[in-house]
Amino acid sequence: MDISVTLVDAADGAVIARTAVASEDLPAAFDGTQLLEAAGTVWRVVRAEPAFREEYELVGALELTLRRVEDDPPTRMFQTRDIHFSMSSISDRLPDIAGPFDGRSVLLVQDDLWRDVELVGPFAAEAVRANLAAIRRVQTEFRSGPGFTEIHLRTEPAEPLEGVTLTVEDLAAGLGTTTHFVRPVAIEGQGLVRGGYALSVADGVHVYGLVDPASRVTVAGVHRTGVAGPHVAEAFAALALARGLTLVDWRGGLRTADPAVLTEWFGTPPQPLWR
């Protein structure tokens, strides 16, 4: 049977990837000595929940907390061909968590979809080009069934809106909505994002991200759960033109501020995770 495996970085709690691994290819018990290779890096499994085969087979899921290996000898290595990533690329870091939901109304974003689609400023052009090329290579050369045997971790741009002066109020005005629809953003399974915001633009369309202490937006992700009409695409295109931005759909291979392209993108149902 296949086990849904979540790989977590022990350094910061960020999800490295979600994978599907056949149960017989996993150890019968994790004891802290196993190593595996993922995203071009060797990792030691420092914690497994649950740790025994009879338990993870019972629930069909396993979470492995990993620490980067520096000087450890490469013994008891998993075979990389046994690991399939569900996504071709994810951001390498998650935002700081302020605390639990506390029952508040929030925009809930999956950890591996954080910054999956976002608005990017002109200073990030080279990082965008390099990332899209690397993701295209993963999708072309490392596809295996519905998933991938490699994953591209995006480390740049660390601040996608560098050099852009933008507030949540500016976003709301530019996208034809108001700040009455601002609420917190939360990472699924973790909690409320520190310094986070989520702005409702239309049914099934939100902009979310981070603001700095000066109230400047530093991250503006685009979260979709459905299709949207041309007026939404036109608003994003106008905002992009006014602020020198582009919309980047990392795994979709799209970087654009063109109203016609955005109209098609917003008018198409959100794409599945397996891309």
pTM over 0.85: no
pLDDT number for residue 80: 43
Backbone angles phi, psi at 210, to 5 degrees: -130, 145
Which has more pLDDT, 182 or 103? Answer: 182
The predicted structure's pLDDT at residue 274? 67
Burial 141-153 (b: 16+ CB within 10 A, else e): ebbeeebbbbbbb
Do 4 and 64 form a contact (C-beta atoms < 8 A)?
A: no
- 178-213, pLDDT tens digit by residue? 998 899 999 987 899 999 999 999 999 999 999 999
- Mean pLDDT across 76-95: 72
Give the burial class of 45: count Cβ atoms within 10 A of its Cβ; 0-12 exposed, 13-18 middle, 19 or more buried.
buried
User: How many Cβ atoms from other residues are within 10 Å of residue 227's Cβ?
Assistant: 16
pLDDT over threshold 70, residue 82? no
Tell me how far apart the alpha carbons of residues 14 and 10 are, in angstroms, rounded to a whole number.
Answer: 8
Instruction: Give 183's strand partners.
Output: 198
Contact 96, 193 (CB under 8 A): yes
Kindly tell me if the per-residue pLDDT of 57 is higher than 70. yes
Residues 141, 77 contacting (CB under 8 angstroms): no
* pLDDT single digits (tens) 121-164: 999 999 999 999 999 999 999 888 777 878 888 989 999 999 99
- Measured from the Cβ of residue 188, the count of other Cβ atoms closer than 10 Å reads 13
What does the pLDDT average to over 77-104? 76
pLDDT band, very low/low/confident/very high, at 253 (cuts 50, 70, 90): very high
